[in-house]
Structure 1
Amino acid sequence: MFPLILLYVVLTIVRPQEYITALIGLPILPVVLVLAFAAWLASGTRVPRAPQFLILPAFFIVLMLSEVANGWLGGVKEEMGKFGPIVLMFFMIATACTTQRRILTLMAVMVMCATVLALHGIDQRHGGIGWTGIPVGEDGRIQYVGIFNDPNDLGMLFVSVFPMASLLYKRAGLIGRLFWLACILTLLYGVYLTNSRGAMLGVLVVIGAYIWYRRGMVVAGILGVVGLAAMKLVSSRMQELDAGEESASGRVDAWYEGLQMFKSHPLFGVGPGNFTDYNQLTAHNSFVLVLAETGFVGYVLWLALIGYSFWMTAAVLRLKPDAAAEPERFAAWSAERPLALTLLLSLCGMFVCAFFLSRSYMIVLYVVLAIVTGFYLGARQRVDGLPAFSMSESGGRWIPAAIGSIAGLFVLVTILLRTTG
């Protein structure tokens, strides 16, 4: 089962079935998913208690209900084909990857796959066209095939696995460190070649959050300002990081239109994939996109899915048993802490990117959320004292959290519109 899960992740990221002539048109990805799911069922793996196992299927149902509410019954089949595989993948990873060994293996596979895409971008940038046959963008930004055709998507992938590569570097021997260091440098160069402002900010946030955790807020803040200034020197698009700049202004207008869609369709939204039916540009914000397309019901569920993931990693980091009074518990916690910190950093970087991209339904996002869920389930078995999260006890908090965040989006967009005006 686990090898099939790894194969599915490789095919999802590297996507050879989309550019190797002999594989084009073959249903390789669906077949591997079906085989992996069949093996998962045959293994008798039980679904543990965790809020994500209730929230994600509920969100899936809301996606289909949103299609029906907007008058398209065929949308149910459409969502089953598009989002159904994500649900299956999530359940398999979250229940199968609960041990440190499997989590680290999956991280290594994701880092190596992302490095392949970065190498493709380097080849593309220097040769004008990559081995996939995809040329460099007209604006000089690298791109890949399929779901990574947009440079911003590539940047988001690189940022998501950057902390994972750093953890693998720390745990490796001399030769392994050289390999993972090469991967880290390649990924960072890949971020530079995407020239994605969201990805660059994501890298800055990942590094800043790590420094904050290790050295405190003041040091992180000072180095963050220095890092932002350095990024503006090396990237022409970072120099244009201003609400009045044309690209940024278009995004703010799209956010405004998304909020208007929510106001006109508050319960179930305008339907998944229908944002551009109401506005020429997509939302360029995953939070606004979910709010506009799935309404308040979908937004609460999506926010809860994300919120529990952050909460789980933070719960491990906050535990901090007393080393003298509980040496065994402290040792167990110390073994889990690096993984918790790595996953928290991945979440931070990924959702900084997601705030500037319309990638609410992108599979890589749910792979990371699944890894977090599986990690926490395993950590609770290995470390005493970690809380058991449940919707019955804490699920209600996401409604006021959603209301507060929506109000924040309205305030932010109002301020930005006045600034650009």
Structure 2
Amino acid sequence: MSQKITIVFAALFFSVLNTNAQNLSTKGILDSLKKELKATDADTGMLVSPTGFNVFMQKKALNYLTGVSDLSLAKFYSTYSTDNDKLILGFNVPGMNPYTNRLAFVFNPIIEADVKNNFTSLYKDKKWKNNIRAGLKITYLLPRSTLNFWPDNIKSHVNDLKILRAQKYAIVSKRLTDEETAKTTRVTLLDGTTTLPSNNTLTQTQMRNKENEAYEEIGKAEAEYLEKEKTYTWMQTGWVSAWAFFPVTEAEKYISNNNATAFQKTKFKLWEVNLQFTYLLDIAKVGTFYASPWIKQFQNNSANADLMTNVDYGQYSQFPGANPLNLALLETNKAYIGDYKEFVTTNVNIQIVYITPWQNTLIKPGLSFRYEKNFGDYNPTNLRFGLPLAIQGRDKPINLELQYRINDINNYKNVADHVPTKTVGISLGLPIALLYK
């Protein structure tokens, strides 16, 4: 079954890479672009072009990026959280609706590695380190999105957007035409002979890049107009994401049933699968709201779930009857003592995020709240409060979130005089290169 799923994912992924594989020309690019813009002008229910909406969506999605569960419309991105000491690197491959040119799918290969355990030594002694996991996330953006204008001046803004598209199209058309003319026109040299430039023919990859740049130039102008003029009242959209992680390397822990027994090296194969829905509501004068329920299932065990006693060298050496053979291992490792077993945990999350509408500030703050409930042998209830800060850059923000976490508010292990664990942490999200520049 897993092999069939892998084949389907691979087919979808490569079908995206082969989109628009037909031969392109300057005339074909301009004709296709003009057709889309004219359709936008004529459709009273579509205020900006599909690419304009994609760019606008990118701006809103980039305001909050703390982990793989958040939609990052960036070609490359990385995130880190002190909550689990994981570094995530990912890149996105967009898939367009062939009929509307709207962004429909985002394919997101991911790699995850531990930071706290010798992060700099990914490969040592002919072995991969750091509990490395690889994954794939697929996001489907719902086609029913809404972007509304103020009713009393919608006509003027629609007209201004039509003018903007026409002006930008004229600029793009002149630039592409001049570039083609320069490459295909013979040049008279000083000795009177004529010749063509040596690079007068572009590859299809280069032509496809020119096509993307042409669409993005107009889409970016539309998105900037919406943002700068605050012409819209509110926008809503949503997406469904599914992703999974599978171990590339096996995490190794030292396990013992009791103080006197020698520690045994145990390998963990920690997989997980996730399904999430996100609703985004942006109100121009109020801010942006994100609401995300999602469910996760993952491979768990007594050591990871904190159901065993975690010891280091100093702690173990104080135990009565401690096994001397174990002390050597604990000089460079930690170990777990107790009844070890493996099981699957189901995890349900509900997250709400608010980001302020401020534009002309270095830092755009917000608020976040997450409720997390686990089911099964490991079933704590956790709360997380956050202060997200989007540090505005020239093209893309740096996302920083200060987090206050309250773990195990339900005392799932029924410990006497239980007090929930409170921790303060930080997460960092960095979009390295944007889908729409």
TM-score, normalization by structure 2: 0.24
Structure number having the greater helix percentage: 1
Higher relative contact order (CA 8 A, sep 6+): 1
Larger Rg: 2
Structure number having the greater strand percentage: 2
